[in-house]
Homo-oligomer: A and B are copies of this chain.
C-alpha cells in the first residue's frame, strides 16, 4: 500500500485538490487513441511549482508513480498511468506570467493551452506559432516536442522554448536556459527535457519565443495528379527560399472526406494547401512565384487569396480533416501513424504506404506536413471488427520500417509514449541505452511516468 500512503500524506497538503473520484480518475485514464483505459489511483491539481515538488517528494518517498497531464490530447498514450499512481493535472497552473513584447518572449505556466495563450497575446501583436492542430497544453507540447502545420516556417517546440522550470524526481526545482536568445553555457538541459515526455522531470514553467503577427497572409490551394508532382513543387519552393508558413498535403481519400464533411467541392486529386506570412508585397510575390512552380511541376487549379474568409475556410477544412476522416467510417476509431523522412524520399514513402493500405481491408487517408517530410495515415478501425486493430498495427509497423529504411524517424511529432516504445531500439541502436542511462541518473527510482520512452530494467 505504498501508493496509498503517498496519497494519504498528500491529501493533508492538497485537500480537495487531490481527488480519487471515479469520474476524475476515468477522465485521466482515457486516451485520444486506441490504448486501453487505465485510470490513475488519484489526480492532483497543484497550483505552484513548490506544490509539485512536494507531490514528487512525497511520491518518491513511497515509490508512487507520478504522471504529468496537460490537455490529454496525446495520440500515443503518454498520460496513461500504466503502473497506477498519481496523475498531476496542470489545469490550475494555466496563467501567462510575463509578456516581454520588446524581447518577443513570454513566461507561461504549463497548463495553458495554445489557443488560450494566443488569445492572451492578441493585443500585443505577437503570437506563439507552434500549431499541432489539437488545442494542446503548452507544457504537454514541450514534453512531447510537438510541431505541426507551421513548423516549416517557425520551427517546432524544440525551436520555440528558451527555458524551463522543472521539478526533478528528487523534488529539486531547477531552471534551464535564460531569456537571452542564445547561450553556450554548458549542457543543453532545456532540450533534454523537451521531448522527454515527463520521464525526467515535470515542467512547471516555460519561457517561450514569440513571433510578430504577420502584416499580411496569403493562402493558396492546388491539385496534382500524383504525390510526386506535389513533393517536387515543395522541394523547389524550399530550395528557392520562398518562405512558406504552412505547406500541407492531403491525399485523394482525405479530399473525399473533407468534401463531405466541410461541404466543399475540391477535385478528387491530391492537393497542396499553402500559406505565406509577410508584407502585402512579399506575400503576393511569394504566391506568384509558387504559382510558377506549380505550373512547372504539373499542378492545376492554382488559386491564391489574401482574403481572411477564403483562408479561414481552407484551414478550418484542414484542421477538421481528422474529424472528417473519422466521420467517413461510421463507428470507427483511429490509429494515427506519424512517420517523417528526408523530403526526397517523401513521395516514395507516401506511395508505398498508400499501396500497402489499399491492399488491406481498412481505410487510411493520408495527410501531412510536406515541408517537413512528415505525414500521417489515419487508419480507421472498428471495435466490432477485432482483427482490424492487428491489421492497423501491422500497417503501422511496416510504415516504421519504411521510415527507418529511408533515413527517417518513427515519430515526426506525436512522440513515443507507449505506441512507439517497441521501435526505439531500431531507430536509436545503442543511443537508446544512453537514454536509459540518463533516465537512471536523474530518476533512479523510475517514478516519473514509468514505462514511457525508455525501459529501465
Contacts and interface: CB of A to CB of B under 8 A. Distances in A.
Interface of A: 100-105, 125, 144-147, 151, 155-156, 158-159, 168, 172-176, 178-189, 191-192, 194-196, 200, 211-212, 214-215, 235, 238-241, 243, 277-279, 281-282, 285, 338, 340-344, 371-374, 403, 407-416, 420, 424, 427-435, 437-438, 440-442, 453-454
A438 B435 contact: no
A341 to B, nearest CB: 6
A15 B185 CA distance: 37
Given A156-B182, A412-B182, A437-B441, A431 B195 contact: no
A277 B176 CA distance: 33
Contacts of A277: 241
B187 A373 contact: no
A178 B403 CA distance: 10
Contact of A432 (B158, B168, B186, B438): B186
A338 B409 CA distance: 37
A60 to B, nearest CB: 16
Contact of A241 (B146, B212, B441): B212
A335 to B, nearest CB: 17
A353 to B, nearest CB: 15
Contacts of A184: 144-147, 195, 338, 409, 411-416
Contacts of A168: 434
A211 B217 CA distance: 24
13 contacts: A159-B159, A173-B430, A175-B429, A180-B340, A180-B342, A181-B342, A184-B412, A185-B424, A187-B192, A187-B435, A188-B195, A215-B241, A440-B441
How many monomers of this chain does the complex have?
A: 2
Contacts of A105: 342
B145 A188 contact: yes
A175 B429 CA distance: 8
A372 B179 CA distance: 11
Given A185-B416, A192-B188, A179 B430 contact: no
A195 to B, nearest CB: 5
Nearest to A241: B212
A403 to B, nearest CB: 8
A437 B151 CA distance: 33
A374 to B, nearest CB: 7
Contacts of A413: 182, 184
A100 B341 CA distance: 13
Contacts of A420: 185
A451 to B, nearest CB: 14
Contact of A411 (B179, B185, B412, B432): B185
A343 B181 contact: yes
A431 B176 CA distance: 7
Contact of A181 (B178, B373, B414): B373
A387 to B, nearest CB: 29
A344 B435 contact: no
Contact of A174 (B146, B338, B429, B438): B429
Contact of A434 (B100, B179, B181, B189): B189
Contacts of A340: 180-183
A193 to B, nearest CB: 9
A176 B174 CA distance: 26
Nearest to A236: B102
Given A145-B184, A180-B409, A215-B241, 11 more contacts: A179-B408, A181-B343, A182-B372, A184-B413, A187-B192, A188-B188, A212-B241, A215-B240, A241-B278, A281-B281, A440-B441
A434 B239 contact: no
A245 to B, nearest CB: 11
A180 B368 CA distance: 14
Nearest to A420: B185
A399 to B, nearest CB: 13
Contacts of A453: 186-187
A100 B431 CA distance: 24
A239 B104 contact: yes
